[in-house]
Amino acid sequence: MIFDTHAHYDDKAFDEDRDVLIGSLLSNGVGNVVNISATVESCYDTLALTEKYDFFYGALGVHPEGLTELDEEKLEKIKALCIDNSVHKGGKIVAVGEIGLDYSYDEPPKDLQIRWFKAQLEMAGEVGLPVVIHSRDAAKDTYDIMAAAHCENIGGIVHCYSYSKEMAKQFLDMGFYIGIGGVLTFKNARKLVEVCEYLPMDRIVLETDCPYLSPMPFRGQRNDSTRLSYVVQKLADIKGIDEREVTDITETNARRVYGICQP
């Protein structure tokens, strides 16, 4: 079944029909979802979703846009949540994320982003969980900070990959997986298509980033995990394999990177 490695079902876009939508996922071919935190508050919301739904897992961390509310005390609380609810202890928290750098806007300041990116990478190493990396218009700094933090010993996913295949090689060499979602179906996605042609299938994971980045023909609408079938179809065409093989391989990859045993 489809494994959505990156979703935001705690987002207010799902407030009106969250339970109904999530309740329909299994019957629509979605076997597992990892809900990804973006703010301090969403760490608690993510944890609640993992407790409510058997097929949900979670990642706890603070996205670059949420860093202005972060401080040392709050980071320690997130760390404690990771430890207490880690998949290694039978819990359902499988990663630290999403964390990283976003230079597409002037705020938050780069020095603040870099400080908390380093701190959250260090936390991931301490709690023994992989990381989910957000990186936009910040390829060199992202990679350099990850290399300095010896992320080859941490592992994880570069989410919503948007860089070149040459940059992809560097992340692959570090042992990371590459998250592919609805952008692959866009008409202007030539660079991402080239990256997917280059990537080995055993290093690709599927993701929605829902409610964002809905694939064609739903671009601009609210996204959800059922629409990953369109990404599966496009990836199957690029790789010249059948859709079932794409689904099976990417599910295996997701379980491997997140340390989730096969049911």
Residue 167: give the domain boundaries. 2-258
Q: Is the dihedral of CA 170, 171, 175, 181 positive or negative?
A: negative
CA dist 210 and 183 (Å) reads 12
Domain of residue 184, CATH code: 3.20.20.140
189-231 pLDDT per residue, tens: 999 999 999 999 999 999 999 999 999 999 999 999 999 999 9
User: pLDDT tier at 261 (50, 70, 90 boundaries)?
Assistant: confident
Inside any domain, residue 114: yes
Inside any domain, residue 142: yes
Inform me whether the pLDDT recorded for 263 exceeds 80. no
Inside any domain, residue 217: yes
Inside any domain, residue 151: yes
Inside any domain, residue 180: yes
Say what the pTM is. Answer: 0.97
Inside any domain, residue 263: no
148-198 pLDDT per residue, tens: 999 999 999 999 999 999 999 999 999 999 999 999 999 999 999 999 999
Query: If you average pLDDT over every residue of the chain, what do you get?
Result: 97
67-90 pLDDT per residue, tens: 999 999 999 999 999 999 999 999
Inside any domain, residue 65: yes
Q: Name the domain count of the chain.
A: 1
Query: DSSP per residue over the chain, as a string?
Result: -EEEEEE-TTSGGGTTTHHHHHHHHGGGTEEEEEEE--SHHHHHHHHHHHHH-TTEEEE----GGGGGG--HHHHHHHHHHHHHTBGGGT-SEEEEEEEEEE-SSS-S-HHHHHHHHHHHHHHHHHHT--EEEEEES-HHHHHHHHHHTTGGGT-EEE-S--S-HHHHHHHHHTT-EEEE-GGGGSTT-HHHHHHHHHS-GGGEEE---BTS-PPTTSTTSPP-GGGHHHHHHHHHHHHTS-HHHHHHHHHHHHHHHHTPPP-
pLDDT of residue 198: 98
Inside any domain, residue 10: yes
